[in-house]
Amino acid sequence: MVKPFMPQLVYFEPKALEYPLGKTLYDKFSEMDLEIRETTSHNQIRNLPGDNDFQKYRNAKSTLVVGVRRTLKFDTSKPSAEYAIPFATGCMGHCHYCYLQTTMGSKPYIRTYVNTDEIFESAEQYMQERMPEITRFEASCTSDIVGIDHLTHTLKRAIEYFGQTNYGLLRFVTKFAHVDHLLDANHQGRTRFRFSINAEYVIKYFEPGTSRLVDRIEAAKKVAAADYPLGFIIAPIYLHEGWKEGYLSMLEQLAEHLPKKAKNDLTFELIQHRFTAPAKRVIQKNYPMTKLELDESKRKTKWGRYGIFKYVYTDQEQEEMKQLFLTHIPKLFPKATVEYFT
Ligand code: SF4
Protein backbone atom coordinates (compact mmCIF):
# COMPACT_ATOMS: atom_id res chain seq x y z
CA MET A 1 0.00 0.00 0.00
CA VAL A 2 1.27 3.50 -0.83
CA LYS A 3 2.31 5.25 2.37
CA PRO A 4 0.58 8.48 3.41
CA PHE A 5 2.42 11.48 1.98
CA MET A 6 5.21 13.01 4.06
CA PRO A 7 7.00 16.08 2.67
CA GLN A 8 10.79 16.16 2.57
CA LEU A 9 10.89 19.92 2.80
CA VAL A 10 8.33 22.40 4.16
CA TYR A 11 8.19 26.11 3.43
CA PHE A 12 6.22 28.56 5.53
CA GLU A 13 5.06 31.94 4.36
CA PRO A 14 5.39 34.24 7.44
CA LYS A 15 1.76 35.34 7.15
CA ALA A 16 0.66 31.72 7.56
CA LEU A 17 1.89 31.81 11.15
CA GLU A 18 -0.73 34.47 11.94
CA TYR A 19 -3.41 31.80 11.57
CA PRO A 20 -4.06 29.05 14.16
CA LEU A 21 -3.72 26.31 11.55
CA GLY A 22 -0.40 27.77 10.39
CA LYS A 23 0.95 27.66 13.95
CA THR A 24 -0.34 24.13 14.49
CA LEU A 25 1.34 22.93 11.31
CA TYR A 26 4.57 24.69 12.20
CA ASP A 27 4.68 22.94 15.60
CA LYS A 28 3.73 19.63 14.06
CA PHE A 29 6.40 19.70 11.35
CA SER A 30 9.03 20.98 13.80
CA GLU A 31 8.38 17.99 16.04
CA MET A 32 8.65 15.66 13.06
CA ASP A 33 12.14 16.93 12.44
CA LEU A 34 11.44 17.89 8.86
CA GLU A 35 13.51 20.50 7.11
CA ILE A 36 11.61 23.79 7.44
CA ARG A 37 12.40 26.94 5.50
CA GLU A 38 10.82 30.34 5.39
CA THR A 39 9.78 32.12 2.22
CA THR A 40 8.19 35.52 1.79
CA SER A 41 6.00 34.10 -0.93
CA HIS A 42 5.83 30.77 -2.74
CA ASN A 43 6.84 32.69 -5.89
CA GLN A 44 10.24 33.21 -4.30
CA ILE A 45 10.98 29.50 -4.06
CA ARG A 46 13.80 29.06 -6.53
CA ASN A 47 16.42 26.90 -4.89
CA LEU A 48 14.67 23.56 -4.72
CA PRO A 49 17.15 20.71 -4.50
CA GLY A 50 18.07 18.92 -7.74
CA ASP A 51 20.69 19.18 -10.47
CA ASN A 52 18.29 19.39 -13.38
CA ASP A 53 14.62 20.05 -14.19
CA PHE A 54 13.80 16.37 -13.97
CA GLN A 55 15.08 16.08 -10.37
CA LYS A 56 13.70 19.46 -9.39
CA TYR A 57 10.26 18.41 -10.60
CA ARG A 58 10.39 15.28 -8.44
CA ASN A 59 11.68 17.15 -5.41
CA ALA A 60 9.01 19.83 -5.84
CA LYS A 61 6.37 17.14 -5.63
CA SER A 62 7.60 16.25 -2.16
CA THR A 63 7.75 19.87 -1.04
CA LEU A 64 4.91 21.41 0.92
CA VAL A 65 4.32 25.16 1.11
CA VAL A 66 2.12 26.39 3.94
CA GLY A 67 0.63 29.68 2.86
CA VAL A 68 -2.33 32.02 2.73
CA ARG A 69 -4.83 31.98 -0.12
CA ARG A 70 -5.00 35.53 -1.38
CA THR A 71 -7.58 35.21 -4.17
CA LEU A 72 -10.88 34.43 -2.57
CA LYS A 73 -12.73 34.55 -5.86
CA PHE A 74 -13.61 30.99 -6.84
CA ASP A 75 -13.35 29.56 -10.35
CA THR A 76 -16.34 27.83 -11.86
CA SER A 77 -16.16 24.06 -11.99
CA LYS A 78 -18.50 22.61 -14.60
CA PRO A 79 -19.82 19.99 -15.02
CA SER A 80 -19.41 18.54 -11.54
CA ALA A 81 -20.12 21.64 -9.42
CA GLU A 82 -20.80 25.37 -9.53
CA TYR A 83 -17.52 26.46 -7.95
CA ALA A 84 -14.02 25.20 -7.23
CA ILE A 85 -13.15 25.79 -3.57
CA PRO A 86 -9.40 26.29 -3.09
CA PHE A 87 -7.86 24.58 -0.06
CA ALA A 88 -4.71 23.30 -1.72
CA THR A 89 -2.87 23.17 -5.04
CA GLY A 90 -0.50 20.57 -6.40
CA CYS A 91 -0.24 16.86 -5.76
CA MET A 92 2.32 14.30 -4.68
CA GLY A 93 1.04 11.76 -7.22
CA HIS A 94 2.84 11.13 -10.49
CA CYS A 95 0.02 10.42 -12.91
CA HIS A 96 1.52 10.82 -16.36
CA TYR A 97 -1.61 12.35 -17.86
CA CYS A 98 -2.32 14.79 -15.00
CA TYR A 99 -3.44 18.22 -16.19
CA LEU A 100 -1.77 19.87 -13.19
CA GLN A 101 1.52 19.44 -15.02
CA THR A 102 0.39 22.07 -17.47
CA THR A 103 -1.59 24.31 -15.14
CA MET A 104 1.09 24.46 -12.43
CA GLY A 105 3.95 24.90 -14.86
CA SER A 106 7.20 25.54 -13.09
CA LYS A 107 5.67 25.40 -9.60
CA PRO A 108 4.63 21.79 -9.06
CA TYR A 109 5.11 21.88 -5.29
CA ILE A 110 2.12 21.32 -3.03
CA ARG A 111 0.54 24.31 -1.35
CA THR A 112 -1.91 24.23 1.51
CA TYR A 113 -3.80 27.31 2.64
CA VAL A 114 -4.32 28.03 6.30
CA ASN A 115 -6.88 30.86 6.06
CA THR A 116 -9.73 28.37 5.91
CA ASP A 117 -12.23 30.64 7.71
CA GLU A 118 -11.79 33.28 5.02
CA ILE A 119 -12.31 30.63 2.35
CA PHE A 120 -15.51 29.50 4.12
CA GLU A 121 -16.74 33.12 4.32
CA SER A 122 -16.27 33.45 0.60
CA ALA A 123 -18.19 30.19 0.04
CA GLU A 124 -20.97 31.60 2.20
CA GLN A 125 -21.29 34.61 -0.11
CA TYR A 126 -21.49 32.38 -3.18
CA MET A 127 -24.24 30.37 -1.50
CA GLN A 128 -26.15 33.54 -0.57
CA GLU A 129 -26.08 34.72 -4.18
CA ARG A 130 -27.73 31.52 -5.41
CA MET A 131 -30.21 30.89 -2.61
CA PRO A 132 -32.62 29.11 -2.61
CA GLU A 133 -30.71 27.09 -5.22
CA ILE A 134 -28.15 24.68 -3.79
CA THR A 135 -24.51 25.51 -4.59
CA ARG A 136 -22.02 22.69 -5.08
CA PHE A 137 -18.34 23.22 -4.31
CA GLU A 138 -15.62 21.02 -5.78
CA ALA A 139 -12.54 20.76 -3.55
CA SER A 140 -10.25 18.80 -5.85
CA CYS A 141 -9.87 20.96 -8.96
CA THR A 142 -6.28 21.92 -8.24
CA SER A 143 -5.01 19.08 -6.07
CA ASP A 144 -5.77 15.65 -4.68
CA ILE A 145 -6.84 17.16 -1.41
CA VAL A 146 -7.26 13.83 0.42
CA GLY A 147 -3.60 13.06 -0.30
CA ILE A 148 -2.39 15.74 2.13
CA ASP A 149 -5.34 15.94 4.47
CA HIS A 150 -3.96 13.48 7.03
CA LEU A 151 -1.43 16.27 7.73
CA THR A 152 -3.67 19.35 7.64
CA HIS A 153 -7.26 18.18 8.37
CA THR A 154 -8.47 21.11 6.25
CA LEU A 155 -10.81 18.91 4.28
CA LYS A 156 -12.23 17.50 7.47
CA ARG A 157 -13.01 21.03 8.63
CA ALA A 158 -14.61 21.79 5.27
CA ILE A 159 -16.77 18.66 5.47
CA GLU A 160 -18.01 19.74 8.89
CA TYR A 161 -18.52 23.31 7.72
CA PHE A 162 -20.71 22.23 4.79
CA GLY A 163 -22.47 19.77 7.09
CA GLN A 164 -24.02 22.69 8.92
CA THR A 165 -25.01 24.73 5.86
CA ASN A 166 -28.47 24.58 4.31
CA TYR A 167 -27.57 25.55 0.76
CA GLY A 168 -24.09 24.17 0.19
CA LEU A 169 -22.77 20.78 -0.85
CA LEU A 170 -19.14 19.71 -0.97
CA ARG A 171 -17.58 17.17 -3.30
CA PHE A 172 -14.08 16.01 -3.99
CA VAL A 173 -12.31 13.10 -5.60
CA THR A 174 -9.21 11.17 -4.70
CA LYS A 175 -6.86 8.42 -5.79
CA PHE A 176 -5.63 7.92 -2.24
CA ALA A 177 -6.87 5.46 0.33
CA HIS A 178 -5.83 7.41 3.44
CA VAL A 179 -9.30 8.33 4.58
CA ASP A 180 -9.45 7.16 8.19
CA HIS A 181 -9.36 10.59 9.81
CA LEU A 182 -12.35 11.68 7.69
CA LEU A 183 -14.62 8.86 8.76
CA ASP A 184 -15.90 10.49 11.94
CA ALA A 185 -16.43 13.96 10.41
CA ASN A 186 -19.93 15.31 10.99
CA HIS A 187 -20.84 15.43 7.30
CA GLN A 188 -24.64 15.38 7.59
CA GLY A 189 -24.78 13.78 4.16
CA ARG A 190 -23.72 17.06 2.50
CA THR A 191 -20.40 15.84 1.12
CA ARG A 192 -20.09 13.45 -1.79
CA PHE A 193 -16.91 11.49 -1.34
CA ARG A 194 -15.66 10.27 -4.70
CA PHE A 195 -12.85 7.98 -5.73
CA SER A 196 -11.14 8.14 -9.07
CA ILE A 197 -10.82 4.60 -10.36
CA ASN A 198 -9.42 3.02 -13.46
CA ALA A 199 -8.56 -0.26 -15.12
CA GLU A 200 -5.58 -2.03 -13.51
CA TYR A 201 -3.50 -1.38 -16.63
CA VAL A 202 -3.94 2.39 -16.43
CA ILE A 203 -3.21 2.48 -12.70
CA LYS A 204 -0.13 0.31 -13.13
CA TYR A 205 1.44 2.22 -16.01
CA PHE A 206 0.22 5.77 -15.60
CA GLU A 207 -0.60 6.47 -11.94
CA PRO A 208 2.60 5.95 -9.92
CA GLY A 209 2.56 7.24 -6.39
CA THR A 210 -1.19 6.73 -5.89
CA SER A 211 -3.13 3.99 -4.09
CA ARG A 212 -3.88 0.72 -5.89
CA LEU A 213 -7.40 -0.11 -7.04
CA VAL A 214 -8.01 -2.63 -4.24
CA ASP A 215 -6.95 -0.05 -1.66
CA ARG A 216 -9.23 2.61 -3.16
CA ILE A 217 -12.12 0.13 -3.07
CA GLU A 218 -11.32 -0.74 0.56
CA ALA A 219 -11.31 2.97 1.39
CA ALA A 220 -14.63 3.42 -0.45
CA LYS A 221 -16.13 0.69 1.72
CA LYS A 222 -15.09 2.56 4.86
CA VAL A 223 -16.49 5.79 3.48
CA ALA A 224 -19.79 4.06 2.68
CA ALA A 225 -19.88 2.60 6.20
CA ALA A 226 -19.49 6.16 7.51
CA ASP A 227 -22.70 7.04 5.60
CA TYR A 228 -21.16 9.47 3.15
CA PRO A 229 -22.84 9.74 -0.25
CA LEU A 230 -20.33 7.97 -2.49
CA GLY A 231 -19.28 8.39 -6.09
CA PHE A 232 -16.74 7.20 -8.64
CA ILE A 233 -15.05 9.10 -11.38
CA ILE A 234 -13.78 6.78 -14.06
CA ALA A 235 -11.05 8.91 -15.55
CA PRO A 236 -9.30 9.04 -17.79
CA ILE A 237 -10.99 6.32 -19.80
CA TYR A 238 -8.03 5.24 -21.87
CA LEU A 239 -8.07 2.82 -24.78
CA HIS A 240 -5.43 0.12 -24.39
CA GLU A 241 -5.17 -3.49 -25.37
CA GLY A 242 -7.88 -5.36 -23.54
CA TRP A 243 -9.57 -2.15 -22.35
CA LYS A 244 -13.08 -3.59 -22.45
CA GLU A 245 -12.13 -6.51 -20.21
CA GLY A 246 -10.07 -4.22 -17.98
CA TYR A 247 -12.90 -1.76 -17.36
CA LEU A 248 -15.47 -4.50 -16.97
CA SER A 249 -13.31 -6.26 -14.41
CA MET A 250 -12.92 -2.96 -12.53
CA LEU A 251 -16.72 -2.48 -12.42
CA GLU A 252 -17.24 -6.07 -11.33
CA GLN A 253 -14.71 -5.75 -8.50
CA LEU A 254 -16.49 -2.65 -7.34
CA ALA A 255 -19.91 -4.30 -7.49
CA GLU A 256 -18.64 -7.30 -5.59
CA HIS A 257 -17.10 -5.33 -2.75
CA LEU A 258 -19.43 -2.40 -2.17
CA PRO A 259 -22.12 -2.95 0.43
CA LYS A 260 -25.72 -2.90 -0.81
CA LYS A 261 -26.48 0.26 1.16
CA ALA A 262 -23.77 2.22 -0.69
CA LYS A 263 -25.19 1.19 -4.04
CA ASN A 264 -28.48 2.93 -3.31
CA ASP A 265 -26.96 6.39 -3.67
CA LEU A 266 -24.04 6.18 -6.02
CA THR A 267 -22.86 8.45 -8.81
CA PHE A 268 -20.54 7.80 -11.72
CA GLU A 269 -18.76 10.41 -13.82
CA LEU A 270 -17.08 9.28 -17.02
CA ILE A 271 -14.22 11.23 -18.56
CA GLN A 272 -12.36 10.04 -21.63
CA HIS A 273 -8.64 10.69 -21.97
CA ARG A 274 -7.74 13.93 -23.69
CA PHE A 275 -4.61 15.99 -24.16
CA THR A 276 -3.51 19.29 -25.65
CA ALA A 277 -0.33 20.18 -27.52
CA PRO A 278 1.22 21.99 -24.49
CA ALA A 279 0.24 19.04 -22.25
CA LYS A 280 1.95 16.59 -24.58
CA ARG A 281 5.18 18.61 -24.44
CA VAL A 282 5.22 18.77 -20.67
CA ILE A 283 4.27 15.08 -20.23
CA GLN A 284 7.13 14.04 -22.49
CA LYS A 285 9.51 16.23 -20.52
CA ASN A 286 8.42 15.09 -17.07
CA TYR A 287 7.83 11.41 -17.93
CA PRO A 288 10.05 10.74 -20.95
CA MET A 289 9.58 6.96 -20.76
CA THR A 290 5.81 7.05 -20.65
CA LYS A 291 3.78 4.55 -22.68
CA LEU A 292 0.92 7.03 -22.81
CA GLU A 293 -0.49 7.23 -26.34
CA LEU A 294 -0.34 10.88 -27.45
CA ASP A 295 -0.70 10.57 -31.21
CA GLU A 296 -2.77 13.46 -32.57
CA SER A 297 -3.44 11.65 -35.84
CA LYS A 298 -5.44 8.99 -34.00
CA ARG A 299 -7.67 11.53 -32.27
CA LYS A 300 -10.44 13.97 -32.98
CA THR A 301 -10.03 17.65 -32.10
CA LYS A 302 -12.41 19.44 -29.82
CA TRP A 303 -12.40 23.13 -28.97
CA GLY A 304 -11.54 23.54 -25.30
CA ARG A 305 -12.69 26.26 -22.96
CA TYR A 306 -9.13 27.51 -22.46
CA GLY A 307 -8.98 28.62 -26.08
CA ILE A 308 -6.96 25.65 -27.20
CA PHE A 309 -7.77 22.45 -29.09
CA LYS A 310 -7.84 19.24 -27.20
CA TYR A 311 -7.46 15.79 -28.66
CA VAL A 312 -10.20 13.35 -27.69
CA TYR A 313 -11.12 9.93 -29.06
CA THR A 314 -12.93 9.55 -32.38
CA ASP A 315 -16.73 9.49 -32.40
CA GLN A 316 -16.78 5.76 -32.95
CA GLU A 317 -14.39 5.11 -30.06
CA GLN A 318 -16.45 7.36 -27.81
CA GLU A 319 -19.58 5.41 -28.75
CA GLU A 320 -17.85 2.15 -27.83
CA MET A 321 -16.85 3.54 -24.47
CA LYS A 322 -20.32 4.83 -23.77
CA GLN A 323 -21.82 1.54 -24.79
CA LEU A 324 -19.60 -0.38 -22.42
CA PHE A 325 -20.22 1.82 -19.41
CA LEU A 326 -23.87 2.59 -20.07
CA THR A 327 -24.62 -1.11 -20.44
CA HIS A 328 -22.71 -2.43 -17.47
CA ILE A 329 -23.15 0.31 -14.88
CA PRO A 330 -26.97 -0.01 -14.86
CA LYS A 331 -26.67 -3.81 -14.78
CA LEU A 332 -24.25 -3.89 -11.85
CA PHE A 333 -25.54 -0.80 -10.02
CA PRO A 334 -29.23 -0.44 -10.93
CA LYS A 335 -29.80 2.52 -8.60
CA ALA A 336 -26.69 4.50 -9.56
CA THR A 337 -26.75 7.72 -11.57
CA VAL A 338 -24.32 8.34 -14.41
CA GLU A 339 -23.89 12.11 -14.17
CA TYR A 340 -22.08 12.71 -17.45
CA PHE A 341 -19.71 11.39 -20.08
CA THR A 342 -17.26 13.90 -21.45
FE1 SF4 B 1 -2.88 14.56 -10.77
FE2 SF4 B 1 -4.83 13.35 -9.40
FE3 SF4 B 1 -2.68 11.97 -10.14
FE4 SF4 B 1 -2.50 13.85 -8.27
S5 SF4 B 1 -3.66 11.94 -8.11
S6 SF4 B 1 -1.06 13.52 -9.97
S7 SF4 B 1 -3.97 15.37 -8.99
S8 SF4 B 1 -4.23 12.90 -11.50
Q: Report which of 318, 309, 298, 294 is spatially closest to residue 237, judged by C-alpha positions.
A: 318
Query: 139: Cβ below 6 Å to ligand 1?
Result: no
Which residue's CA is the nearest one to ligand 1's atom 5? 93
Q: Report which of 103, 166, 162, 85 is spatially closest to residue 133, judged by C-alpha positions.
A: 166
Q: pLDDT tens across 139-167, in order? A: 999 999 999 999 999 999 999 999 999 99
Q: pLDDT tens across 214-265, in order? A: 999 999 999 999 999 999 999 999 999 999 999 999 999 999 999 998 999 9
Q: How far apart are CA 280 and CA 327, in angstroms?
A: 32
The predicted pLDDT at position 38 comes to: 87
Q: Report which of 338, 334, 342 is spatially closest to residue 325, judged by C-alpha positions.
A: 338
- Mean pLDDT confidence for 71-90: 95
Ligand 1 atom closest to Cα of residue 210? 5
List domains and CATH numbers for the chain: 9-341 (3.80.30.30)
Q: Is the pLDDT of residue 53 over 90?
A: no
The answer to whether residues 215 and 1 touch, using CB atoms and an 8 Å cutoff, is yes
Omega of the bond prior to 79 within 30 degrees of 0, cis?
A: yes
Q: Is the pLDDT of residue 18 over 90?
A: yes
Q: Give distance in angstroms: CA of 97 to centre of ligand 1.
A: 8
326-336 CB burial, b ≥16 within 10 A, e <16: eebbeebbeeb
What band does 89 get if pLDDT is binned at 50, 70 and 90? very high
Q: How far apart are CA 307 and CA 141, in angstroms?
A: 19
Which residue's CA is the nearest one to ligand 1's atom 6? 93
Q: Is the pLDDT of residue 46 over 90?
A: no
What band does 44 get if pLDDT is binned at 50, 70 and 90? confident
- Mean pLDDT confidence for 302-322: 93
The answer to whether residues 29 and 38 touch, using CB atoms and an 8 Å cutoff, is no
Question: What mean pLDDT is reported for the chain?
Answer: 95
- Mean pLDDT confidence for 116-138: 98
The beta strand positions in 179-333, using DSSP E, are 191-197, 230-237, 266-272, 300-303, 309-312
